[in-house]
Structure formats: structure tokens, C-alpha cells
Amino acid sequence: MSELSHLELFSGIGGFHRAFDLLGIDHNLEVPCVGYSEIDQQAIKTYQANYDVSSSVDLGDIISFTENQETIGKLPDFKILTGGFPCQAFSMMGFKNGFQDERGNLFFNILKILIEKRPPFVLLENVRNLVTHDKKRTFAIIRESLVGIGYHIYFDIFNSNDFGLAQKRNRIFIFATRESLPSTFEFSQNKIKTVFDEFLKINTHSLEIQRDVLDVLDRTVNDKKYFLSERIKPTILSDGTGSYYSKSMINCLIARPLTATMVKLHRANQDNYYSLEFLQSKDPYAHAFLHQSTYNLLEKEIRRLTPKEALLLQGFSSDFYGNAIKKRVSEFQLMKQAGNAVSVNTVYAILYYLFVYNGL
């Protein structure tokens, strides 16, 4: 396999970069990151604390960077462009304005780089709702735009829980290539999961692999800032207010999708909360999925995830967390960054399937 050089756009804390690094370690590959683009200064601190960026171009704001075609042309050549491009415009949680939203239009800045640099491969990530947004017109524009500049398009919805992470997180991954692949080539969650499962059985690797959240959760967290106060506990544990109803559950063995907003308190039917009784029980599985109507949770000590646990649930390591802390990235920011991140294991599984298993 030739050098697997990559350009990471909308890098955040480098979920794609981390997957490439681990793939390189496990399979003795050269995986240089030629450049990265991010505007969140705290995310950049975490990124630079964990990756060697001495040979990488810092693109900064992609809007400013892509204003000049000559500037784009000066980028080093690379084999694959990656990016979890901003999803607020497409998210079910957002305003659903699609390309009318400035953040949605950032897709076209990706196109400017693809037109100028013409890398053979592209791998993009977004919320699953991208496929159906605006009666499927939004995704049709994305697909037609990529096809129009010479790419063949493949896509599917991937759940991070199927790739060794104790978090249910469904995201669309779009794979685009200038190469004509055989008619037998398949890009699907089921196929890639099958290949990934076989890989795990017979190979040593550098991934974080979790059966459930008990492989991640710290049983001895003492910092009271992570525990629900007596005042807020009834609100968090309620089944909703007014006409809104949703069953409040805690101690879920597979975490709900992490979000950037989990730094603020939400309801136990939206975010992840765990009782001290569950965490310290000799048989924690007996306490899983308990509902307040049958269990007096108001009398229990209950806490939210820590930033370290959130990062682990996205496939980052304890060392990754520690490196960011050493650079004085706050725990508040790390929680936000974890919620925004791309799941490392999912990307690794896709990259392994494409470039090791299929030898692209």
C-alpha cells in the first residue's frame, strides 16, 4: 500500500486523525496528515496536544482558506480528504435550514478543495438525518455535486456501538472515489462490521474496545460537581412536563448518543446518568435500566459522565484526555468536544475495510 496521506477538515479533536494514527500503528503504514482545519480554539489546543502537527498545514477557517484558488493549490497532495462537516443545519435537533444555513453551505468549501486537489478518495461524516432532510433534496445536492466533479458515491448509516464502543451513535458516512471500483464492491454497515469483527478476532490492535459502559465508568468518582443536586434531581428524573412525555431511565449499559450540549444538565431520557448504587454494586447489571416509577431514584446519589468517560465512549484514550488537561483545556470544553467528535472506532473500521482489506 502506498502512503495513506490525509487532509482533515472540520477536525475538532481529530477523530479521523486518531483513527489514521491507530491504523498506521497496527498495520505499519505511513499515514501523514498534510493539514487540518478548525476554528474552535479550545478544540485546536486539544488537537495539538495529541498529534504531531509539525509537518501539517494549519488551514484555520476553511471559508477564508478557500477564498483563493491559488492558496488551495499550494496544499501538499494527499490521498484522502476527511471531515465531519458541520451538521447543525441538517440535524433533527436544529432548525433544519439545510443549505440556507451558513453552516450547511460549508459543504461547498469542501468542493472547492476537491476540485483543485482532486484526491482519489473522500470520507465524510454527518448526522443520519442528512439523508432525509428537505424531502431528500439536501442529500441529492451533495451527491450530485460530488458526482459532477468526477466521484463515485457510496454511503450508509453506521452505529458506533457495532464497532466496539458502548454508545449508540448513528451517523452517515459518505465514501467518494475517483476510481472505478468493481461491481462487487460494497460499502455498508453490515459488510464493514463483519470484516471488523473478524479483524478483532485474529489481530492485536490499539483500539479502545468496550462491551458496555462498565468498561468505561469510574466507580470511585468523588467530585461533587458531577453529582445531581437535590434541587435539580426531580427535574432531571421526571418523565417530562406538560404535553411532553418520555420515560426517564438511567444506568443504561449502552450510552445514549453524546452531544455537545451534554455539558449542561438535561433529562435522564436524553443524556447519560448513573447512580452510585449501580456503579459500586457487586452486581451492577441488576441495577441497569431502572425506572423511577418502580425505584426511588430521588433518594439515590446520581451523577453524569465525566469528560474522560465521554472521550473513552468516543474511542479516545485516557492518555488523550490527560494530554489535553496538561495543556489546560477545561473539563467543560472537553465534554463539549467529546460530544462533537467523530467516533474513532467507526472510522478505523471503515479505513481498515477500504485500505487494508480491499487494498484501495
Q: Is 252 a catalytic residue?
A: no
Amino acid found at 146: L
Label each residue of the chain as H, E or C.
CCCCCEEEECCCCCHHHHHHHHHHHHHCCCCCEEEECCCCHHHHHHHHHHCCCCCCEECCCHHHHCCCHHHHHCCCCCCEEEECCCCCCCCCCCCCCHHHCCCHHHHHHHHHHHHHHCCCEEEEEEEHHHHCHHHHHHHHHHHHHHHHCCCEEEEEEEEHHHHCCCECCEEEEEEEECCCCCCCCCCCHHHHHHHHHHHHHHCCCCCCCCCCHHHCCCCCCCCHHHECCCCCHHHHHCCCCCCCCCCCECCCCCECCCCHHHHCCCCCCCCCEEEHHHHHCCCHHHHCCCECCCCCHHHCCEEECCHHHHHHHCCCCHHHHHHHHHCCCCHHHHHHHHHHCCCHHHHHHHHHHHHHHCCC
How many CA atoms within 13 Å lie on the side-chain side of 9? Answer: 29
Q: What angle do CA 196, 201, 202 make, to 5 degrees?
A: 105
Helix axes 41-50, 318-326, angle to 10 degrees: 120
Candidate list 9, 22, 23, 87, residue with the active-site label: 87
Catalytic residues: 87
